[in-house]
Amino acid sequence: MNKQIDYKLLPKLAVKSEPEWKRFYAKNKKKLEGMDVLVHTLHNVISNRTDCLSCANCCRSLGPRITDKDLDRMAKVLRLKSTEVIANYLRIDEDGDMVFKTMPCPFLGSDNYCSIYESRPKACREYPHTDRKRFYQLFNLSIKNAQTCPIVYEVLQELTKNNP
Ligand code: SF4
Ligand code: SF4
Protein backbone atom coordinates (compact mmCIF):
# COMPACT_ATOMS: atom_id res chain seq x y z
CA MET A 1 0.00 0.00 0.00
CA ASN A 2 1.36 3.44 -0.96
CA LYS A 3 2.11 5.83 1.86
CA GLN A 4 -0.09 8.93 1.81
CA ILE A 5 1.82 12.01 0.70
CA ASP A 6 2.08 14.69 3.34
CA TYR A 7 0.12 17.68 2.00
CA LYS A 8 2.76 20.03 3.45
CA LEU A 9 5.23 18.70 0.87
CA LEU A 10 2.88 19.22 -2.05
CA PRO A 11 3.67 22.81 -3.07
CA LYS A 12 7.30 21.87 -3.73
CA LEU A 13 6.55 18.45 -5.23
CA ALA A 14 3.82 19.77 -7.53
CA VAL A 15 5.89 22.70 -8.76
CA LYS A 16 8.70 20.27 -9.56
CA SER A 17 6.36 18.01 -11.57
CA GLU A 18 4.49 20.83 -13.32
CA PRO A 19 6.71 21.02 -16.44
CA GLU A 20 6.28 17.26 -16.95
CA TRP A 21 2.48 17.50 -16.59
CA LYS A 22 2.33 20.42 -19.00
CA ARG A 23 4.45 18.53 -21.51
CA PHE A 24 2.09 15.56 -21.19
CA TYR A 25 -0.94 17.80 -21.71
CA ALA A 26 0.52 19.48 -24.80
CA LYS A 27 1.38 16.11 -26.32
CA ASN A 28 -1.82 14.24 -25.35
CA LYS A 29 -4.49 16.94 -25.50
CA LYS A 30 -6.65 15.03 -28.00
CA LYS A 31 -5.98 11.62 -26.47
CA LEU A 32 -6.94 12.95 -23.04
CA GLU A 33 -10.51 13.49 -24.25
CA GLY A 34 -10.94 9.70 -24.31
CA MET A 35 -9.18 9.08 -21.01
CA ASP A 36 -11.98 9.71 -18.49
CA VAL A 37 -12.27 6.01 -17.63
CA LEU A 38 -8.56 5.78 -16.84
CA VAL A 39 -8.57 9.05 -14.86
CA HIS A 40 -11.65 7.98 -12.89
CA THR A 41 -10.10 4.59 -12.14
CA LEU A 42 -6.97 6.31 -10.85
CA HIS A 43 -9.16 8.67 -8.82
CA ASN A 44 -11.05 5.76 -7.23
CA VAL A 45 -7.94 3.75 -6.38
CA ILE A 46 -6.06 6.75 -4.99
CA SER A 47 -8.95 8.33 -3.08
CA ASN A 48 -9.82 4.94 -1.52
CA ARG A 49 -6.38 4.70 0.00
CA THR A 50 -6.29 8.39 1.02
CA ASP A 51 -7.44 9.44 4.47
CA CYS A 52 -9.01 12.88 4.04
CA LEU A 53 -9.47 13.14 7.80
CA SER A 54 -5.73 13.17 8.31
CA CYS A 55 -5.40 15.91 5.67
CA ALA A 56 -8.31 18.41 5.39
CA ASN A 57 -5.98 20.71 3.47
CA CYS A 58 -8.75 21.78 1.06
CA CYS A 59 -10.99 22.81 4.00
CA ARG A 60 -8.09 24.65 5.54
CA SER A 61 -6.84 26.55 2.53
CA LEU A 62 -9.32 26.72 -0.39
CA GLY A 63 -12.42 28.83 -0.17
CA PRO A 64 -15.35 27.11 -1.96
CA ARG A 65 -17.75 29.28 -3.96
CA ILE A 66 -21.11 29.26 -2.18
CA THR A 67 -24.22 29.21 -4.36
CA ASP A 68 -27.71 30.36 -3.37
CA LYS A 69 -28.75 26.70 -3.06
CA ASP A 70 -25.77 26.06 -0.77
CA LEU A 71 -26.83 29.04 1.31
CA ASP A 72 -30.39 27.67 1.67
CA ARG A 73 -29.07 24.25 2.72
CA MET A 74 -26.67 25.76 5.22
CA ALA A 75 -29.36 28.03 6.69
CA LYS A 76 -31.63 25.01 7.17
CA VAL A 77 -29.07 22.83 8.91
CA LEU A 78 -27.80 25.71 11.07
CA ARG A 79 -31.37 26.77 11.86
CA LEU A 80 -30.57 30.34 10.88
CA LYS A 81 -32.00 32.77 8.39
CA SER A 82 -30.02 33.12 5.15
CA THR A 83 -29.21 36.69 6.11
CA GLU A 84 -27.77 35.45 9.41
CA VAL A 85 -25.61 32.85 7.64
CA ILE A 86 -24.31 35.59 5.37
CA ALA A 87 -23.64 37.96 8.27
CA ASN A 88 -21.94 35.30 10.40
CA TYR A 89 -19.96 33.28 7.89
CA LEU A 90 -19.83 34.72 4.38
CA ARG A 91 -18.36 37.55 2.35
CA ILE A 92 -18.28 38.55 -1.30
CA ASP A 93 -14.87 38.11 -2.86
CA GLU A 94 -13.13 40.19 -5.53
CA ASP A 95 -14.86 38.14 -8.30
CA GLY A 96 -18.29 38.82 -6.81
CA ASP A 97 -18.67 35.26 -5.47
CA MET A 98 -19.94 34.30 -2.02
CA VAL A 99 -17.18 32.61 -0.04
CA PHE A 100 -16.42 31.90 3.62
CA LYS A 101 -15.34 34.94 5.59
CA THR A 102 -12.47 33.08 7.16
CA MET A 103 -10.28 30.16 6.25
CA PRO A 104 -9.74 27.54 7.62
CA CYS A 105 -13.43 26.94 7.04
CA PRO A 106 -15.56 27.86 10.08
CA PHE A 107 -17.20 24.42 9.91
CA LEU A 108 -13.96 22.46 10.08
CA GLY A 109 -13.52 20.87 13.50
CA SER A 110 -10.22 20.30 15.30
CA ASP A 111 -10.70 16.59 14.47
CA ASN A 112 -10.89 17.54 10.74
CA TYR A 113 -14.58 16.61 10.54
CA CYS A 114 -16.97 18.93 8.73
CA SER A 115 -19.82 19.90 11.07
CA ILE A 116 -22.24 20.46 8.16
CA TYR A 117 -20.99 17.52 6.07
CA GLU A 118 -24.39 16.37 4.76
CA SER A 119 -25.26 19.95 3.83
CA ARG A 120 -21.83 21.13 2.69
CA PRO A 121 -21.54 23.32 -0.42
CA LYS A 122 -21.58 21.73 -3.87
CA ALA A 123 -17.99 22.84 -4.49
CA CYS A 124 -16.91 20.87 -1.41
CA ARG A 125 -18.74 17.79 -2.66
CA GLU A 126 -17.12 17.99 -6.06
CA TYR A 127 -13.55 18.64 -4.91
CA PRO A 128 -10.96 17.49 -6.02
CA HIS A 129 -12.70 17.06 -9.43
CA THR A 130 -10.58 14.14 -10.61
CA ASP A 131 -13.76 12.07 -11.02
CA ARG A 132 -15.46 14.69 -13.19
CA LYS A 133 -16.64 14.00 -16.75
CA ARG A 134 -14.44 15.58 -19.44
CA PHE A 135 -11.48 15.71 -17.08
CA TYR A 136 -9.36 17.16 -19.89
CA GLN A 137 -11.21 20.46 -19.38
CA LEU A 138 -9.96 20.54 -15.80
CA PHE A 139 -6.38 19.49 -16.47
CA ASN A 140 -4.89 22.94 -15.95
CA LEU A 141 -6.98 23.53 -12.82
CA SER A 142 -5.78 20.15 -11.56
CA ILE A 143 -2.16 21.24 -11.99
CA LYS A 144 -2.98 24.04 -9.53
CA ASN A 145 -4.97 21.76 -7.23
CA ALA A 146 -2.05 19.33 -7.06
CA GLN A 147 -0.35 21.87 -4.78
CA THR A 148 -3.18 21.39 -2.27
CA CYS A 149 -4.56 17.89 -2.67
CA PRO A 150 -2.56 14.64 -2.44
CA ILE A 151 -5.22 12.83 -4.51
CA VAL A 152 -4.81 15.22 -7.45
CA TYR A 153 -1.03 15.08 -7.21
CA GLU A 154 -1.02 11.29 -7.35
CA VAL A 155 -3.58 11.11 -10.17
CA LEU A 156 -1.44 13.42 -12.32
CA GLN A 157 1.72 11.52 -11.44
CA GLU A 158 0.21 8.13 -12.34
CA LEU A 159 -1.47 9.44 -15.47
CA THR A 160 1.69 10.99 -16.88
CA LYS A 161 3.92 8.13 -15.75
CA ASN A 162 1.78 5.53 -17.51
CA ASN A 163 1.17 7.62 -20.62
CA PRO A 164 4.41 9.43 -21.42
S1 SF4 B 1 -9.82 16.07 -0.91
FE2 SF4 B 1 -7.61 16.22 -1.06
S3 SF4 B 1 -7.01 18.09 0.01
FE4 SF4 B 1 -9.11 17.56 0.61
S5 SF4 B 1 -8.87 16.38 2.48
FE6 SF4 B 1 -8.97 14.91 0.81
S7 SF4 B 1 -6.85 14.55 0.24
FE8 SF4 B 1 -6.87 16.42 1.48
S1 SF4 C 1 -18.04 23.20 4.50
FE2 SF4 C 1 -17.14 21.33 5.28
S3 SF4 C 1 -16.30 20.30 3.45
FE4 SF4 C 1 -16.62 22.49 2.91
S5 SF4 C 1 -14.69 23.53 3.35
FE6 SF4 C 1 -15.96 23.67 5.19
S7 SF4 C 1 -15.34 21.93 6.48
FE8 SF4 C 1 -14.65 21.54 4.39
For the stretch 137-163, pLDDT in tens is: 999 999 999 999 999 999 999 999 876
Confidence grade of residue 32 (pLDDT, cut at 50, 70, 90): confident
What percentage of the chain reaches a pLDDT higher than 70? 98
Predicted pLDDT at 58: 97
Predicted pLDDT at 164: 61
Ligand 1 atom nearest to CA at 112: 5
Q: Are 154 and 48 within 8 A, CB to CB?
A: no
Residue 46 Cβ contacting ligand 1 at under 6 Å: no
CA distance 102 to 15: 26
CA distance 54 to 111: 9
pLDDT surpassing 60 at residue 127: yes
* Mutation test residue for ligand 2: of 102, 108, 125, the one with most atoms within 8 Å of CB: 108
* Mutation test residue for ligand 2: of 70, 114, 149, the one with most atoms within 8 Å of CB: 114
Q: Are 39 and 155 within 8 A, CB to CB?
A: yes
pLDDT surpassing 70 at residue 10: yes
Predicted pLDDT at 1: 52
At a CB cut-off of 8 Å and minimum separation 6, what does 142 contact?
A: 128, 129, 130, 135, 152, 155, 156
Q: Are 121 and 67 within 8 A, CB to CB?
A: yes
Confidence grade of residue 88 (pLDDT, cut at 50, 70, 90): very high
Indicate the pTM of the whole model.
0.93
Residue 105 Cβ contacting ligand 2 at under 6 Å: yes
Predicted pLDDT at 61: 93
Predicted pLDDT at 95: 92
Residue 50 Cβ contacting ligand 1 at under 6 Å: yes
CA distance 91 to 96: 9
Task: Provide the mean pLDDT of the chain.
Answer: 94
